[in-house]
Amino acid sequence: MPDVNELLNTAIKETGNLNQGEVFLVRDLFKGYEWNRISRSERLLLGTLFLNYVNTSKNSIQAIEKTSSGQQRYRIN
């Protein structure tokens, strides 16, 4: 299983495949079986690291509202 920094790099890389205006969750950046293999604690950490990346780097990703289940949603600008 890759460490959380490798997962973060994978998620960042996958955002390049999204179209402008698309709304997504971090889990959408992984195949279903890959996401399910990541432990809950690592998924939470990954979500925190991805939000930190979005807030601190100059990129086209914007954090928008959270879902009813507390997952952060993002949009490609």
Spatial contact of 43 and 51, defined as CB atoms under 8 Å apart = no
pTM of the model: 0.93
pLDDT-based confidence at 77, cuts 50/70/90?
very high
Q: For residue 64, how far is the Cα from the chain centroid?
A: 13
How many of the other CB atoms lie within 10 Å of CB of 65?
9
Q: What is the DSSP letter of 68?
A: T
Q: Note the pLDDT tens digit of each residue in 9-64.
A: 999 999 999 999 999 999 999 999 999 999 999 999 999 999 999 999 988 999 99
User: d(Cα 46, Cα 27) in Å, to the nearest integer?
Assistant: 10
pLDDT of residue 22: 96
Picking from 58, 56, 54, the residue whose alpha carbon sits closest to that of residue 24 is 54
pLDDT of residue 44: 95
In this predicted structure, the answer to whether residue 1 has a pLDDT above a threshold of 80 is no
